[in-house]
Amino acid sequence: MKSYCRKALNMRIFPNEQNGKAWDQSVMQRNYEVLLVSQFTLYGILKGNKPDFHVAMAPQLAKPFYDSLVERFRKSYVADLVKGSGLGTSEHKSDKPLDESDNQTSQVDTT
């Protein structure tokens, strides 16, 4: 989890306006907010005409895992800039709208 957090916060996925380089700055360099969303459905497979989530983490394990992930990000970055949303939470509340141009969804394999 520590490795995933470090990778995610340091991925250079945003442009640098000073030098014009694309994919040059990280969330931390830009001082952006981080919204962590539980995506258990990414581990679903299609069985016939129905989705099957048996390969997903069990809810009683997923909730503490997700909570510890959010906490790890908060300790590794600016706590107030890390929000959690998912698994029964609705923590992300903001007066400012999400800027879709700066949205980035990435899957990082840390195995």
pLDDT tens-digit map of 16-69: 999 999 999 999 999 999 988 887 666 778 889 998 888 788 888 888 989 999
Q: In the structure encoding, which two tokens stand for residue 30, read together?
A: 């830009």
- As annotated, the active-site residues are 41
Domain range annotation of the chain: 2-88
Mean pLDDT throughout 64-83? Answer: 95
Cα(55)–Cα(33) distance, rounded to whole angstroms?
30
pTM of the model: 0.76
pLDDT tens-digit map of 45-60: 888 999 888 878 888 8
pLDDT of residue 93 exceeding 80:
no
CATH number of 2-88: 3.50.80.10
pLDDT of residue 88 exceeding 70:
no
Please check whether residue 92 is in contact with residue 70, taking contact to mean a CB–CB distance below 8 angstroms.
Answer: no
